[in-house]
């Protein structure tokens, strides 16, 4: 693994479902050259695995705190992740 590459698992809460959050997150991640996935959770939150260069991951976490128009993000909690396999793309799941 590249020393500059990192991964985080983030949980985003607030009004984040039904506002195109996953499509927006995928587009933002792709602009930053990140890989991973984003998905809706049953509790109304959104979860995302974000992988790539540390600076780009940090920028993505800042963007997640803002969210797309129509969203109202109340919190973003992230933790270091060590994926079994590093994703090759950024996808929307679940």
> From first to last of its 94 residues, what are the pLDDT tens digits of the chain?
456 789 999 999 999 999 999 999 999 999 999 999 999 999 999 999 999 999 999 999 999 999 999 999 999 999 999 877 788 999 999 7
Residue 38 confidence (pLDDT): 98
Q: Does 93 fall in a domain?
A: no
34: which 2 tokens? 């990140």
Residue 20 confidence (pLDDT): 96
Residue 90 confidence (pLDDT): 97
- Catalytically active residues, by annotation: 22, 40
Number of domains in the chain: 1
Residue 82 confidence (pLDDT): 86
Q: Does 89 fall in a domain?
A: no
Q: Which residues contact 34 (CB under 8 A, 6 or more apart)?
A: 50, 51, 52, 56, 57, 60, 90
Q: Does 30 fall in a domain?
A: yes
Q: Does 63 fall in a domain?
A: yes
Domain ranges, residue 69: 5-81
């Amino acid at each position: 693994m590249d020393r500059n590459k990192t991964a985080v698992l983030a949980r985003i809460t607030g009004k984040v479902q039904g506002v195109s959050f996953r499509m927006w997150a995928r587009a933002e991640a792709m602009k930053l050259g990140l890989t991973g996935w984003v998905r809706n959770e049953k509790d109304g939150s959104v979860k995302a695995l974000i992988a790539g260069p540390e600076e780009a991951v940090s920028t993505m976490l800042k963007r997640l705190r803002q969210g797309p128009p129509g969203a109202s993000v109340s919190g973003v909690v992230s933790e270091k992740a060590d994926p079994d396999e590093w994703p090759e793309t950024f996808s929307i799941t679940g």
